[in-house]
Amino acid sequence: MVTMEQLCEMECGALKRLLKDDGAKRLLLDCRSFLAFSAGHIRGAVNVRCNTIVRRRAKGSVSLDQILSGDDEVKSRLVSGLYSAVILYDERTPDAHMVKEDSTIALVLNALCRDPFRAEVYLLKGGYDRFCSQYPDYCLKSRTLPMPSAVSSAQASCTSCGTPQHDQGGPVEILPFLFLGSALHASKKDVLDGMGISALLNVSSNCPNHFEGAYQYKCIPVEDNHKEDISSWFIEAIEFIDSVKDSNGRVLVHCQAGISRSATICLAYLMKKKRVRLEEAFEFVKQRRSIISPNFSFMGQLLQFESQVLATSCSVEAASPSATLGPKSSSSPNSPYIFSFPVSVVPHGQPSSLSYLQSPITTSPSC
CATH number for the domain harbouring residue 191: 3.90.190.10
Q: Exposure pattern of 231-246 as b/e (b: 16+ CB <10 Å)? A: bbbbbebbebbeebbe
Query: Do residues 313 and 174 share a domain?
Result: yes
Is 53 inside any structural domain? yes
Is 36 inside any structural domain? yes
CA distances from 97 to 32, 93, 297 (A): 18, 9, 47
Is 362 inside any structural domain? no
Q: How many CB atoms lie within 10 A of CB 193?
A: 13
Range of the domain at 279: 166-339
Query: Do residues 195 and 292 share a domain?
Result: yes
Q: Which of 141, 157, 188 is the last residue of a domain?
A: 141
At 157-216, the pLDDT tens digits run 444 456 666 667 789 999 999 999 999 999 999 999 999 999 999 999 999 999 998 999
At 268-287, the pLDDT tens digits run 999 999 988 999 999 999 99
Contact 125, 162 (CB under 8 A): no
Q: How many CB atoms lie within 10 A of CB 205?
A: 16
Query: Do residues 95 and 174 share a domain?
Result: no
Is 347 inside any structural domain? no
- Report the distance separating Cα 80 and Cα 96, nearest Å: 26
Query: Do residues 321 and 178 share a domain?
Result: yes
Query: Do residues 265 and 118 share a domain?
Result: no
Is 222 inside any structural domain? yes
In what helix (H) or strand (E) does residue 128 lie, and over which residues does it extend? helix 127-134
CA distances from 361 to 123, 207, 224, 226 (A): 45, 21, 11, 11
Question: Which pLDDT belongs to residue 56?
Answer: 65
Closest CA to 336 of 295, 296, 300: 300
Please write down the HEC assignment for all residues of 95-125. CHHHCCCCCHHHHHHHHHHHCCCCCEEEEEC
Predicted TM-score (pTM) of this structure:
0.70
Query: Given CA atoms 242, 37, 276, 347 in this order, what sign does their dihedral have?
Result: negative
Question: Concatenated DSSP letters for 248-264?
Answer: T--EEEE-SSSSSHHHH
Catalogue the E-assigned strands of the chain: 8-10, 26-30, 40-42, 46-47, 85-89, 120-124, 139-141, 172-175, 178-181, 199-202, 216-219, 251-254
Closest CA to 314 of 30, 56, 29: 56
Active site residue 207: no
- Report the distance separating Cα 166 and Cα 288, nearest Å: 13
Question: Which pLDDT belongs to residue 49?
Answer: 78
Query: Do residues 315 and 172 share a domain?
Result: yes
Q: Which of 141, 156, 178 is the last residue of a domain?
A: 141
Query: Do residues 205 and 331 share a domain?
Result: yes
- Report the distance separating Cα 361 and Cα 336, nearest Å: 22
Task: Identify the active-site residue in 12, 50, 255, 367.
Answer: 255
Q: Describe the crossing of helices 261-274 and 296-314 by its angle, rounded to 10 degrees.
A: 10
Query: Do residues 100 and 60 share a domain?
Result: yes
Query: Do residues 127 and 185 share a domain?
Result: no
Residue 248: which pLDDT band, with cuts at 50, 70 and 90? very high
At 41-70, the pLDDT tens digits run 999 999 987 766 666 666 657 777 777 877
Is 365 inside any structural domain? no
Contacts of 108 (CB under 8 A, 6+ apart): 29, 31, 48, 50, 62, 67, 88
Question: Which pLDDT belongs to residue 331?
Answer: 39
- Report the distance separating Cα 63 and Cα 110, nearest Å: 8
Query: Do residues 186 and 90 share a domain?
Result: no
Query: Do residues 198 and 314 share a domain?
Result: yes
How many domains are there within the chain? 2
Is 352 inside any structural domain? no
- Report the distance separating Cα 332 and Cα 308, nearest Å: 19
Is 268 inside any structural domain? yes
Average pLDDT, the chain: 79
Query: Do residues 177 and 325 share a domain?
Result: yes
Kindly tell me if the per-residue pLDDT of 95 is higher than 60: yes
Kindly tell me if the per-residue pLDDT of 234 is higher than 90: yes
Read off the CATH number of the domain in which 115 is found: 3.40.250.10
Query: Given CA atoms 124, 31, 235, 318 in this order, what sign does their dihedral have?
Result: positive
Question: Which pLDDT belongs to residue 65?
Answer: 76
